[in-house]
Structure 1
Amino acid sequence: MRINMFKNTLISAVVALTSLVSLATNAEIKRIDNVAVVVNDNVILEGEIKAIINDVRAKAALANQSLPSDKALRAQAIDKLVLSSIQLQMADRMGIQISDAHLDSVLQSIAERNNASVDEYRKGLESQGQNFERYREQLREDIAINEVVRANVRRRVNISEQEVVSLVKVIEQQTSKEEYQIGHILIAVDSGATQTEIQTRRDVANKVLDLLNDGGDFKQVAIASSSGAKALEGGDWGYMSINEMPSLFSENVKGQPKDSLVGPLRSGAGFHVIKVLDVRGRETVEVKEVKARHILLEPSIILSEEKAKSMLSGFVKDVKAGEADFAELAKAHSEDPGSALKGGELGWANPDIYAPKFKEMLAQLDVGEYSSPFRTQFGWHVVQLTEVRKADTTEQSKKDRAYQIIFKRKFNEEQESWLREIREQAYIEVVTG
C-alpha cells in the first residue's frame, strides 16, 4: 500500500471534518454516519459496514446457521467494501456507467429466472426484510464491478493452441462425469512476505484445517477466516468438473469423496484449504444450435436510451413492411463490429454463449420471427432467429469447449491475483475499529 504525506493529510482532514460536524449537531438525537475507512480518495462509512453485517446475519438466521464473532464479521465486511470501493473507483476512471434502462433489464432477467414479475420479486425481497432501493443500487454497483473485472482480468488470460489440443485429448479419453461442489478457504500471504510471515500464515492454515477436522462448520470458518472472493458466501464455489478447477485444486481433489478436506495447498496467493461439499454425476444434455442475426445500438451522450430503442422499433417495422432490408440496416447502423459487415449475421452457435437476456429472447422466437428491442450490457438489440438445428459433435466444437474450460480456470486464478494486486496498490486506512 502506498502511504504518503498527502494521504495522511487527507485522513486527518476527513476525521477532523467528521468531528466538527458531530460537535455542531451534538444537540441532535441522531449522530451523522462516521467515516470508518479511507480507500484512496473515497471513504467507507460505518453505516455501510453495519448494513453488510446485518445482511449476513439475516441470511444466516433464515438458514439457521451460526456465525463467527462480531469482530470477524466486521473484518470480512470491511474487506468486501474495500475491494468494492477500489473496483468502483476503477469503473469511474474507465467511464463505466450503468444506466437505469440497463439496470431495469437486468432486474427483469433476475425476476424471470425466479418465475416472477419485477413487482413480485420486489415484494419477495421486502418480505425478507430487504430494502428494494438499496438492493437495486447494490445491483448497479455489482454490474459495474463485473465489467471492471472482465475488462482487467480477461486480458491477463493467455491460452495457447497446444493447451486446447491437449485438453481435447484428455476430454476424449475421460470417462468420468463427476462434478465437485468445492468449499474454499484462503489464508492470504502478501506478495512481499518474509519467510517468518509465510510460516505464520502456514500455521494459521494448519489451525483452520485442525478446526475443520474436529467438526467445525466449514461455512462459518470460511466467513471468519478466508480471504477468498467467496468468503461471505461461506467459501462455496459451486459445482465444477476437474478440468474447470484451478490446476492446484484439481490435482488434489480428483477422486476425493464427499466431505473430504484437502490442504493446506500453497500458491502465490497464500494457503488454500478445500472441502468437497458434494459430488454428482454430470448430466448429458442435447444442445440445440441457433442461427441468428441482429442489430446493436450503443446508447451514448448523443444517442439516448429511448432514441436507440425507438430507432430499432422503426427498423423492424420497416423490414416487416418491405420498406427496408435487415442486412443493409445492420451494415449501416449496427455497432457490433463482428457482425455488422456481414449484415448482422451471427452464424451457428450454442445460445449459451450469448448474454442471458439475448439467449432468453432467442428462446422465445419462432424461426423467421423478429424480437422487439431489448437491452443487454452491450446496448439495445433487435434479433431475428433464422434457423435452428441439433448440434453436431465436431472437432471445432470440442476445441471451443476446451477453450472455455481453460479460460474459466485461468480466469479464476488470475482474478484472485488481480484482486490481491489492486488491494496492495491502494491506499487503505482504517479510521475506526
Structure 2
Amino acid sequence: MSFSAPFLRAALPAGRSLSMRKTLLGFSALLALPVLGAQAAPAHHVHAQRAHPGHGSVVEPVTPPEDAILGTINGQVLTERDVDNRGKLFALSTGLNISPDLMQRLRPQIIRQLVDERIKTQEILKRHINVEPQQIAQAINNIESRNGMPKNALRDRLAQDGVSLTTLIDQIRVQIGWMQVLREEISGRGRITAREIAQREEALRAEEGRPQYNVSEIFIPVADPRHSETELEFTKTIITQLRNGAPFPIVAAQFSQAQTALDGGTMGWVQEDSLDPPVVEIVRQMPIGAISNPVKVAGGYVIVTVNGKRTIGHQNVTMVTVRQAFFPFSSPLNPQEPTDQQKMALQKASAAAQSVHGCDAMEALNHSLGEKHPSDPGGQLVLERLNPQMRQVLSDLPVGQSSRPLVSTDGIALLTVCSKGQKNIAQQSPSEIADSLMNERVEQASRQLERDLERRSVIEMRKDDKTASAKPADDTQNDEPPAKKPHGKPAPGQG
C-alpha cells in the first residue's frame, strides 16, 4: 500500500442562483476557505509576518493608532481599525501573502468600499430593517458548508489570523439588509408577468444562433475622469493578484462596485449588445479563464474574465449529481511518510470503495465519518466545467458505483454518481427567464438608489485619505457621484 501525490480536490460549484431571494447566498463567495486559499497560498513566509499554512497572511506595517479617525460619513466615524480589519479579511480570503506595499495600494479602495457600506447601513437603519442574527448565522453556516468546514471553524480561523468576526458579520449584514432595501424599492413594480416571460422567450428564439458569453466583472469607478491614475494603478494591482491566483469571485465581492459583486462578479450569460463595446472586443478574443487588462468604460475601469462561450439555443452539456464520503486525516499528509492513522484511513476507504454502492449508502457512510465534508458537494454539476482531474474521475464512473479513493492532504474522498444526463443549458425555462428579468430590475434599482444616497450624503475624509469629498446634503448641482458601470440594455437570454 502506498500514497500517491495528494489529489487536488475540485471546488465543485453549485449552480448560479438567479432569483433575488437566492442572491443572498452569493456572499458565500466572500471567503472560499479552505480549498481556494490552500491552492493559492505561497509556501514561504517573510520574517515578522503572521503566516499559517494554507491561507493568506499580511505583513504588519507600522500604522497609525487603530482608533485614529479617518473620516466621517453623515457623522458616523470610519477608523484605522476598520480599514485594517477589512484588509486582513481580504488577505485571509484570497489566500495570498499581502505585503505592506500591496496593502497600501489596496487601501483607497478598501476605504471607498467601507464608505459605501456605511451609507447603505444608514439607509437600512432609516427604513427600520432588522437583519436577524439567525440570518447572519445561516450565512456563515453556508460559507462553512460550501467549503467543507465544520461548524464554528470559520470563527476559529478568523481568530487565529487576528481578524475580528465582527468584520465579516458587518459585511454580511450590509448585504442582507441591502437586498431587503431593494425588495422595498421594487415592490411597487409588481411581479414578473406571463406576458413579459413570453416576450423574452420570443426574443430568444429570434436571437438563436448569435454568440453569448458567460462573463464575470470587477468594476472600479473613477471619481474624476480627468485624473484616473490612482484607479488605473489600483486596477492593475488587482489584475496582478488575480493572475497570481487570487479567486475572481472573492476579489469581486471585496472590491467591485457593480451590483454583480453580490454574486462574485458573475454577470451570467450575456450577448454582445448588453456589454460595453470595448468589453465586446476583448471577450471575443479572450480564451476561457483568462484575466483581461484594464478596460476603460463609462464611469471607470472594468476587469473581465470569460467563464464560457456558446451559441444561443445550442449548448449540450452533461449534468451529473454526486455524493461523497470523506475519511479525514488527523494531521496533514506527507506522502513520503504517512502516519498510522492515514494508512488505516486508506485501508478503510479502499474497502468501502468495493462494498459501498449507491448514493444512499454513500451518504450514510459520510454521516458515520462525521460529515467533515458535505455529502452533496454541489447539486447538479456541469461535467464539462469541472477541473480536468475531477472530470476524468466522473466521466467514466457508472451510476451508483464508487470511485477509487481520492487522496488529498487532509483526507480521502470516495465519490459516486447518482445521475447523469444531457441537457441543452442554452434553453431557459420560464422560471429562469423570470429570475433573469427580476435581476435586471434589482440591478437598476440598486444603481439608482446608490447614486441618490451618495448625492445626499456628507462625506468628510482626512486629508491623506481623500476617497470622497465632503458634500452638503442639499447640493444636487454639479455634484454627480461617480457613475456606475452601465450594463446597457438587457439582452434576451441574459442570465
Higher helix share: 1
Kindly name which structure, 1 or 2, has the bigger radius of gyration based on alpha carbons: 1
